[in-house]
């Protein structure tokens, strides 16, 4: 961790109007939850729909994508990363600092609203709110690491990340059972199931598979990002 890098990253991420734009996603979730909380339908099914499909399935990957690529890809894009790389600071420290900022921001913007939305929708029953919050915490951290790596590796980080989060996890995962094994969302669900019980969150991947995969992806992505950043060449704008 380097406090200066962290401060600059946070400012690049939330400075000007960008922080307000990021707030749109949690605000939307809370509004939908507040409206849904007053409707008198099947409360459990509704909560699972909103927290599972809208929050964990859509908002969390998109937030993770914007934040994960926002901490480093924008700087690589406009070339200002060279000023940071020119400083006598190990590259892996830059990566870990930026990753920590990304994870922290994702948690603030995704996990806290999830907890609030869960409490609004379903109260503290069955540990549903807790379960989905844990799932968002775990998935948010893994998404941040994964998308940070994408930001270092490719100039099309956002598109690649979207393709993974929306096409692979949602579309293909819906039809092909096996695709869910390689899904950050399902790993998050598996951990949440272990914490809050399977009455709260259902997962298609066992905990024994999810935890090693999560660790491999998160740590592996950070290491690979450090290595890639060490030999970064600034490509010209295509």
Partner 1 sequence: MTQPPDARAADTGVIHDIGYRGYTGPRLGRAHATRSLFVQSLRAAYGLGRSGRSKVLPMLLLGVVTVPAVIYVAVAVYMKRDELPVEYAGYLSDLGLVVSIFLASQAPVLLSRDLRHHTVPLYFSRPITRADYVRAKFAAMACAQLLLMAVPLLVLYTGALLAGMDFGHNTGQFLDGLAAAVLYALVPTSVALVIAAATPRRGFGVAAIMGYLVVSSTVAAVVVDMRGPSPGGSDAAQWTALISPNGLVESLVNEVFDLGSGFDRRHAPGAFGAAVFALVAVAMVAGSYRLLLRRYSRV
Residues in the site for partner 1, rule: CB under 8 A?
A: 21, 25, 28, 32, 36, 39, 41-42, 45-46, 49-50, 53-54, 57-59, 62, 65-66, 69-70, 73-74, 77-78, 155-159, 162-163, 166-167, 171, 237-238
Nearer to partner 1, 125 or 156 (CB): 156
Cα torsion through 152, 156, 162, 167, rounded to 10:
-120
Nearer to partner 1, 173 or 210 (CB): 173
CB 178 → partner 1: shortest distance, Å?
A: 20
CB 49 → partner 1: shortest distance, Å?
A: 5
CB 4 → partner 1: shortest distance, Å?
A: 23
Nearer to partner 1, 74 or 96 (CB): 74
Nearer to partner 1, 36 or 128 (CB): 36
How far is Cα 210 from Cα 186, in angstroms, rounded to an integer? 8
CB 139 → partner 1: shortest distance, Å?
A: 16
Enumerate residues 6+ apart whose C-beta is below 8 A from 69: 147, 148, 150, 151, 157, 158, 161
Asked if 102 and 6 touch (Cβ cutoff 8 Å), the reply is: no
Cα–Cα distances in angstroms (integers) from residue 161 to residues 33, 102, 120, 168, 170, in the given order: 27, 15, 31, 10, 13
Nearer to partner 1, 161 or 188 (CB): 161
Class of residue 104 by CB neighbours under 10 A (exposed 0-12, middle 13-18, buried 19+):
middle
CB 235 → partner 1: shortest distance, Å?
A: 9
């Amino acid at each position: 961790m380097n406090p200066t890098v962290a401060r600059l990253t946070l400012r690049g991420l939330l400075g000007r109007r960008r922080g307000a734009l990021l707030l749109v996603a949690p605000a939307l979730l809370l509004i939908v939850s507040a409206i849904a909380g007053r409707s008198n339908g099947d409360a459990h099914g509704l909560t699972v729909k909103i927290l599972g499909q809208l929050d964990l399935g859509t908002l969390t990957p998109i937030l993770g994508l914007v934040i994960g690529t926002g901490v480093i890809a924008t700087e690589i894009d406009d070339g200002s990363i060279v000023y940071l790389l020119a400083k006598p600071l190990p590259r892996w420290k830059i990566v870990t600092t930026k990753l920590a900022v990304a994870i922290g921001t994702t948690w603030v913007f995704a996990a806290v609203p999830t907890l609030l939305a869960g409490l609004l929708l379903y109260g503290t029953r069955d540990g549903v709110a807790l379960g989905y919050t844990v799932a968002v915490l775990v998935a948010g951290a893994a998404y941040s690491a994964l998308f940070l790596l994408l930001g270092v590796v490719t100039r099309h980080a956002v598109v690649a990340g979207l393709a993974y989060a929306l096409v692979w996890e949602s579309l293909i995962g819906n039809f092909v059972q096996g695709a869910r094994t390689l899904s950050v969302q399902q790993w998050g669900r598996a951990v949440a199931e272990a914490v809050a019980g399977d009455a709260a969150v259902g997962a298609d991947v066992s905990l024994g598979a999810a935890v090693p995969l999560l660790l491999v992806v998160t740590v592996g992505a950070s290491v690979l990002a450090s290595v890639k950043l060490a030999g970064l060449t600034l490509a010209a704008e295509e």
